[in-house]
Every structure is written in C-alpha cells, then in structure tokens.
Amino acid sequence: MSITLPALTPVEASLFLTLCCRALDNRSQHPVLGDEIADEIVRALEYDHERLHTNTDLVLNVALRAKKIDEVAARFIARHPDAVGLDLGAGLDTRSARIAPPSTVDWYDVDLPQVVAARERVVPHRARAHTIGADVTDPDWLAALPTDRPAVVTADGLVGFLAEDDVKALVDRLVDHFPSGELVFNGYTRFTIWVARHARGTRSVADQVRFPGMDDPREPERWNPALELVEEMLISRQAEIAQFPRALRTYYRLQAHSTWWSRKGTLILHYRF
C-alpha cells in the first residue's frame, strides 16, 4: 500500500537521496550494506528514485559509509551495553535496526519535527528506539537524554547542511552532556563540498549545503580539546572496494595510494571524548 508523506522542505527532502541509495544498493547483485528496510520504505512510498539522478558510484559510497558508521556504533555498544546511541539527522534511516543493539541500550533518532513525524509513519518501531523532533542546532533538545551513560553519536549526511559554527556548538554540547563517548560522521573536505554543490548526482541537495568543508581531520580536536581523533577512514582503503564493479574498483585502488587524492572522496571521521 502506498504511503503519502506531507511535502518536506528541501533540507528535509535530502533524506530521499541517501535512503534511495541504500535501497538501490540492496537491489544490486552484491549489496555492500544490504539494507532491506530502506528498500521496503522506498517501495512503500512509491518514491521515484530516477528523479534524483543517482549513479552506481554514489550508491556504493552512501552504502559503504553507512556500513562503516554502523560498525563504529556497533563496536561501541558491544563495549558499553549501558550506552545510549544517537543518530543525528536520522532521516528515514534505520541504523538501529541494522545494528540491533541489546535491550539495555536506548537509541535516539533525531531530526527536524516534520521528518520525525514521517519516520513514525514509515519506519518500523523498535523497542528502546526513540525519536526526537528537533533542530540539532537548538541548544535544548539534549535535555531529554540521560547524562550518566556513555554515548555513541552518529551523523550520516548531516554535517554538510550545518554552518561550521553550528557544528562546533553541537560538538561542545554533546561533549558537555555525556560523561564519555564517541562521535562518528561522514566528513567533507573543501573539495567534496564543492562537488556536493556541483555534481549531477547531488543536484537535489546542492542549494542546501552550508558547511565550508574541513581538510584536516584533526581540526575538531582544536574545536574542543576533549575530542580525540580515533580514525580517519578513507573509503578508497576499505576492504569492501573489492566488491565494486571493475572500473570503480580500479579507480579506488589507484586512489588508495594517495591520502591527498583519497580525501577527495568519501571519508568517515571517528572521535572519542
């Protein structure tokens, strides 16, 4: 049965790009992520992904970055069964279903109120998974969360839509709120921000991009001294590149020889605090 959602603003509607990429990855012969729920949601919404002009490279990058972020969150939860998990700018993503945390973990999907209302209509409910309808740049939304448990905070596709000062203030609030934790998000260099503004595959979100880009993964350590870089993951160096079609595999294997060049592609930044 088709579900019709209320019209979303352009920033909110950016969720369809990543959702459709994960659905298309699931429909491919050798999925990288294999997110069946994303596929089911796209089918239930009868969303026409053709209008987004995605391509295989973008689909694989979105699927692989989601997988890497999932892995960081899953490892943290395995070490901290009392953790809270947060997915900031969650859209219609079902990270907690993919990670399947134990019942001792509370998971919070945070997005703008209209998106959270849409989530509640289309995303299957899970025990101990909560939603928060808020602008993450608003200083008050964190007040609803526990202050005495370690937190793993994920943000997949969010940072590009925030001004740099808003990202810094958000990091400060997260670090102040939780006793300890980890933060993992897909990073943007100045070049990848330029690409997001100009490439055909991201045309649907180009006008919404506000982050200027960050070329040094250690820069957040200077924003807040409690943050420590754990790892910069360059997509070109991930084992899953072996599953990519031959032309892309060859390209990324060449790229993997150069950190400078690899930073022109997808990267995941992982910090502890």
Closest distance of CB 247 from ligand SAM, Å: 26
Closest distance of CB 250 from ligand SAM, Å: 27
Closest distance of CB 132 from ligand SAM, Å: 9
Q: How far is it, in rounded angstroms, from Cα 245 to Cα 241?
A: 9
HEC string for 108-127: EEEECHHHHHHHHHHCCCCC
Q: Which run of H or E residues covers position 223?
A: helix 219-223
Instruction: Specify whether the CB–CB gap between 222 and 249 falls below 8 A.
Output: no
Residue closer to ligand SAM, measured from CB, 72 or 255? 72
Residue closer to ligand SAM, measured from CB, 23 or 255? 23
Residue closer to ligand SAM, measured from CB, 15 or 84? 15
Closest distance of CB 157 from ligand SAM, Å: 3
Contacts with ligand SAM by CB under 6 A lie at 11-12, 14-15, 17-19, 89-91, 93, 111-112, 115, 135-137, 156-158, 161
Which tokens belong to 120? 């509640």
Residue closer to ligand SAM, measured from CB, 205 or 227? 205
Closest distance of CB 163 from ligand SAM, Å: 10
Residue closer to ligand SAM, measured from CB, 136 or 267? 136
Closest distance of CB 225 from ligand SAM, Å: 25
Instruction: Specify whether the CB–CB gap between 270 and 231 falls below 8 A.
Output: yes
- At CA 152, angle to CA 148 and CA 157, rounded to 5? 140
Residue closer to ligand SAM, measured from CB, 18 or 262? 18
Which tokens belong to 235? 């997509």
Closest distance of CB 46 from ligand SAM, Å: 18
Residue closer to ligand SAM, measured from CB, 157 or 187? 157
Instruction: Specify whether the CB–CB gap between 132 and 108 falls below 8 A.
Output: yes
Q: How far is it, in rounded angstroms, from Cα 156 to Cα 95?
A: 10
User: Quick one: the chain helix, strand, coil %, rounded to 5?
Assistant: 50, 15, 35
Q: How far is it, in rounded angstroms, from Cα 65 to Cα 229?
A: 18
DSSP string, 66-92: HHHHHHHHHHHHHH-TT-EEEEET-TT
